[in-house]
Chain A
Amino acid sequence: MKAYATADTANVSAKPGLAARLKKEWRKNAFVYVVLVPVLLHFLVFQAFPLGFSFVLSFMDWPIIGKAEFAGFKNWETFLHDRLAWKSIGNTLLFSLYYILPTMGIGLLLALLVSVRSKLAGFFKSVYFVPVVTSFVVISGIWAWIFKGNDTGIFNYVLSWFGIGPQLFFSDSKQAMIVLASLSVFKVCGSTMVYYYAGLKSIPGHLYEAAKIDGASGWTMFWRITFVLLLPIHFYVAIFTTIGSFQIFDSAFLLTSGGPNYATTTIVYYLYQEGFVGLRMGYASVLAYVLFFIVLILSLVQRKFLGKEVHY
């Protein structure tokens, strides 16, 4: 490190010839450049170029078969007047509504539960985490049978114990999104649990002891200490579940194909339909950029809030 610092100041003050400096840098860091150059090339080809290309695409008519043509703002104008596109955004927001708070709330409750000092806690923490590593395809396959929309469906059977008649679930345009959200809550709340668990572990115990001496009840301690000190975790979890909810695709593709009556056509499902079923690559790029802007804004919000550390 010291060697580097002196070399640096020497560069600034003495300014040896460029060739000599490059040679010196190469001798010092050949290893770095040998590794970094191919990686940066890979980055250019598979990430930077596609990012720029998709922007260009959004101003083009680009069918897979046939000629690509410049289309100006046509695709963007189409988007502004495309009721289905706006419906897909609305559907995605609805999904977020059903999904984000339950995932956070259940995750927090599970974290509180498994942070109890008990031999069984570790075991159950693992159990609650299993859905996180399971693919959407597997869980969707199971969900299809649990939420079958007639009286032989398992969930309908459970409902019948409470005197509730059979529900349609996937074929009901109001319920379909709720069932898809329930699938995602089930799949993701194990990971929010782990974030909250890490957060809970970092809260110093003396705060609770002090509160106890002051005669605070468990309820007060939860809201005044635990909940408040978990603020950074709330933000982090809120942002990643929100970003995830805007990218929901698998379950809508597998279970409802965007239906019934477009009720579960999410942004990404619509993008998939336009781009890879309808082969309208230009228009699909517009939709992708809309998705990107939403995710970007959310990420920037996250940056802003995550910068603030909470001190105990």
Chain B
Amino acid sequence: MPAALKRLPLYVVFALLGAVFLFPFVLMALGSFQKVGRAIADPLFWIPDEPTLYNFNYIFEASNFARWIGNSLFLTLVPVAAQLFLAGLLGYIFAKKRFFGRETIFWLLMAVVMVPNQLLIIPKFIMFSKFGWVNTYASIIVPELWSIMGVFLVRQFMLTIPNDMEEAAYIDGAGDFRVFFQIMLPLAKPALATVGTFAFISCWNDLFTPLIFLTAEKMYPITVGLSSLLTKEGNFGIEMAGAVLSFIPTFLIFLFFQRYFTEGIAMSGIKS
């Protein structure tokens, strides 16, 4: 019996499970081209017989969808950039620098990981009301400028880098900033890629925080916008078009940075 035939059952299992995992996405993608008013009385209502772009046009005209995408991009890219920079810097400091209270400070910062976001959001809401930050981008961006998990990942990574290069650079007369930017930061690229991908996905997909701080429709990120669409429209094609648009960026990030996800998960989970 040829080897390929022997493996057939394996491939069948792969494909069946693959179908189960992909079906919801196929439903979403096909449904987004389904025309409005198509009877949903039969179970195959999600297959468009006359594909149309109407739903996408409708979304952009009847709602603030373009604005929501812009909001989401801004509310994601600024924290991601800041988190990358600060994770690199702080990871370096906590891994390589020797200063008073280093371990105490680091583990104090780490301890707060255990505090659920839902606990901090109530006092933050009161604080931000006083600051005049409700319905501003600051309410989402400022608290997310750095994240201790990112710092932790970079620190763990930098602890594995030998000190030779850094020491050689100092002997050659390089300053702290040069050593950091020209030697340590490039070396930490894999860890930073992981930090960046995780930060992107978690900022882009966050519903709870903007639901509370951004209540003006103009300020919605795509998650809140889409959820308002889901409750308001009750129209299959339009909902799926919205879902497709909010899914695409995360999917692209996943396609390009896939291995950093899996490596990051392994890194954070097994070694911590």
Q: Give which listed residue, B43, B100, B211, B262, contacts A153 with CB less than 8 A.
A: B43
Chain B residue nearest to A267 in the complex (CB):
B118
**Contact yes or no, B254 A247, CB < 8 A:** no
Supplied contacts A129-B254, A138-B243, 15 more A-B pairs, CB within 8 Å: A1-B98, A35-B90, A46-B120, A113-B17, A118-B10, A132-B261, A141-B240, A142-B240, A198-B265, A240-B269, A250-B208, A271-B118, A288-B119, A292-B116, A296-B114
Q: How far, in whole Å, are A133 and B248 apart by their CA atoms in the complex?
A: 11
For chain A, the count of residues having a C-beta within 8 Å of the partner chain is: 95
A-B pair count, CB < 8 Å, reads 241
| A53, B21: Cα distance in complex, Å | 43
Main secondary structure of the interface of A (DSSP, over half): helix
| A36 interface hit (Cβ, 8 Å) | yes
Q: Which of A66-120 contact B (CB under 8 A)?
A: 110, 113, 116, 118, 120
Residues from chain B with Cβ under 8 Å of A285 in the complex:
119, 122-123
Name the interface size band of chain B. Answer: 35 or more
Per the bound structure, the CA–CA distance linking A52 and B28 in Å amounts to: 44
Seen from chain A, the residues whose Cβ lies within 8 Å of a Cβ on chain B are: 1, 4, 25, 28-33, 35-36, 39-40, 42-43, 46-51, 53-54, 57, 62, 64, 110, 113, 116, 118, 120-121, 124-146, 152-154, 156-157, 186, 190-191, 194-195, 197-199, 202, 232-233, 236, 240, 246-247, 249-250, 253-254, 268, 271-272, 275-276, 281, 284-285, 288-289, 291-292, 295-296, 299, 306
Which of B93, B142, B176, B230 touches A144 (beta carbons < 8 Å)? Answer: B230
Cβ contacts under 8 Å, B174 to chain A: none
Given known contacts A120-B14, A236-B269, A31 and B177 CB-to-CB distance under 8 angstroms: yes
Least Cβ–Cβ distance between A201 and chain B, in angstroms: 9
Closest Cβ–Cβ distance, residue B237 to chain A (whole Å): 11
- Considering only residues 81-110 of chain B, those with a C-beta below 8 Å from chain A are 86, 89-90, 93, 97-100, 105, 109
- B133 to nearest A CB, angstroms? 11
Complex: A121 Cα to B10 Cα, angstroms: 10
Using Cβ atoms and an 8 Å threshold, which residues of chain A touch B247?
A: 134-135, 138
B232 proximity list for chain A (CB < 8 A) = none
Stretch at the interface among B52-60, B124-132, B152-160, B187-195: B124-132
Q: How far is the CA of A281 from the CA of B162 in the complex (A)?
A: 50
What is the CA–CA distance of A2 and B269 in the complex, to the nearest angstrom? Answer: 33
Whether A292 and B27, one on each chain, are in contact in the complex, defined by CB atoms closer than 8 angstroms, is no
B119 touches A291 (CB 8 A): yes
Chain B residues with Cβ under 8 A from A145's Cβ? 27, 31, 46, 236, 239
A142 to B32, CA, bound (A): 11
A260 to chain B, nearest CB (A): 16
Which residue in chain A gives the minimum CB-CB distance to B45? A152
B262 adjacent to A306 (CB under 8 Å): no
> Which residues of chain B are within 8 angstroms of A64 by Cβ–Cβ distance?
126, 129
* Contact, CB under 8 Å: A32 / B14: no
6 interchain pairs, CB-CB under 8 A: A31-B176, A113-B14, A127-B22, A129-B261, A195-B269, A296-B114
